[in-house]
Amino acid sequence: MKRVLVVDDSLSVARQLEKIISESGDFVCVGHAKNGAEAIKMNHTENPEIICMDMNMPGMDGLTALRTLSVMDKEVKVVMVTSLGGVGDKFTEALKLGAKNVISKPFEVDNVLRILREL
């Protein structure tokens, strides 16, 4: 099963994503980081294959963390899960920084799983 790290300052979103991931049968959730800085640390300690990360977080935001992760770890695949997905500039910046896809909130379970399985 592929190892997934969830990064979101919202407890409720993290819970939703952890539930979707753990019930999928294809993925296992290895942890929950509350901002970009924690995500970078947990990427090192938990060695996930996939990171589902929010953009808008207090402290280090998702795009800053993505920029760092894309330099530090070429293997990990990052998918942004964000309410800002529909803002064209943010979406394009995320893809150019190396995100594999951007999922808009509110998200649908089937859509999240399809995108994770396609990675």
* Residue 71 found at the interface with another protein (CB under 8 A): no
Residue 98 φ/ψ region, left for φ over 0, alpha for ψ in the -120 to 50 degree band, beta for the rest: left
Instruction: Pick the stretch among 22-30, 39-47, 69-77, 87-95 that binds another protein (CB under 8 A).
Output: 87-95
* Residue 64 found at the interface with another protein (CB under 8 A): no
Show the site string, 7-46: x = touches another protein by CB under 8 A, - = not.
Answer: --xxxxx-xx------------------------------
Helix axes 62-72, 88-96, angle to 10 degrees: 20
